Structure 1
Amino acid sequence: MAPEYPESNRVGMSDEEVDNLLREQGVGVLSLADDGVAYGIPISFGYDAELGRLYFIFLRPGELSRKEDFAERTVRASFAVWDSPSRYEWKSVVVDGELLPIADEEWPRVNETLEDNAWYPSLFSETEPMQDMLGWELRIDHRSGLKRRGS
């Protein structure tokens, strides 16, 4: 049986705390959906607090990836990010909104945002540039954060 935790230890996060967690974390889970089928993917992201947007880069391994297919069919997406330094102390943020391809004129801002807080695994050497990337933005229209501090 799971231990009972007092409700008073779990509280909502302020807007500033939500912004900080989105800036500090470089990876989370993007949840996409197509006709009642959900698809969650761990992915790096950039957060633009000024515009209220998250940016994601998809690498295209072939003609069409499952991730790309789901993204194209998703009307609204959600994204979760968290930090849990211990089992008694954690914080999490869930945002949702419209998912759209990144427009060509937005790429300079997107690249700057990704440089600020996105985490990239070393899939390629620095001398081997990444090819055939797709960019997506989640335009945040709802967000919430919860945290719990140890007893």
Structure 2
Amino acid sequence: MTVDSLEAAGLTRMDDSNIAAFLSNQRVGVLGLPTENGPYMIPLSFGYDGDSSLYFTFVGGSMSRKQQLTEAAEDAAVLVYKVESMFHWESVLLQGSIEAVPESEWDELAAVLDTAWRPQMFKDAIEGGDIAVYRFHIDEREGLRHAGLPPGFEPE
């Protein structure tokens, strides 16, 4: 089935403003990095600048696999989604590039980075750990949503 064929069942494409609003209200997604054996998928908390970039922090230093793959990646993908029920969900797929953000720019990004959701253990690790900040520049974006009603509940 294609997206076009599912539009009759209530699936809709999100425009750029809907995608921006969705990303502004979400804080977690999945980062996909290329490897020889297929994508390496990482759960991720992020801050969104409201325009063209996500920002995220890794804790653990240069020996972590995710950081090594991120440093080597030219292109990556991020999937952000929200599911309320099988009849009401949204997802945004982003394609883009990743770059390390120099520490000299971190203060400028504090407001964006502070919006990222983090479990307490990561907050504690960031305060005393070896961290790196990355910018995911969004080159392509596609958003889909379904806000339909369950079968038998359609208005007459």
Is this a same-fold pair by TM over 0.5?
A: yes
SS in structure 1 at match of 2:83: strand
* Structure 1 or 2: more strand by fraction: 1
Equivalent residues, number: 144
Q: Once superposed, what is the RMSD of the aligned Cα atoms?
A: 2.2
Which whole-Å CA distance do the structure 1 matches of 2:122 and 2:42 have between them? Answer: 20
Q: Which residue of 2 aligns with 1:131?
A: 129
Deviation at 1:149, TM superposition (A): 1.0
Task: Verify the 8 A CA contact 2:76 2:98 in the aligned structure 1.
Answer: yes
Matched with 2:17 is 16
- 8 Å CA contact retained: 2:62, 2:68: no
Cα shift at 1:139? 0.7
Aligned runs of 1:70-149 on 2, under 5 Å? Answer: 70-115=69-114, 117-123=115-121, 129-149=127-147
Q: Provide the secondary structure at the position in 2 that maps to 1:34.
A: coil
Larger displacement relative to structure 2 (7-16 or 140-149): 7-16
TM-score by length of 2: 0.83
Local SS of the residue matching 2:135: strand
Gap regions ≥5 residues in structure 1: none
Q: Is the 8 Å Cα contact of residues 13 and 147 (structure 1) preserved in structure 2? A: yes
1:92–1:146 Cα contact (<8 Å) kept: yes
Q: Secondary structure at the match of 2:89?
A: strand
Q: Which has the higher helix share?
A: 2
Look up the match of 1:59: 59
SS in 1 for 2:141: strand
Structure 2 residue runs of 5 or longer lacking an equivalent are 150-156
Q: TM-score, normalised by structure 1?
A: 0.85
**Could you report, residue by residue, the CA deviation over 1:12-46 in whole angstroms, capped at 9, with x for unpaired residues?**
01212101111111110011113353101001001
Please tell me whether the aligned partners of residues 124 and 130 of structure 1 are also in contact (alpha carbons under 8 angstroms).
no
Aligned to 2:45: 44
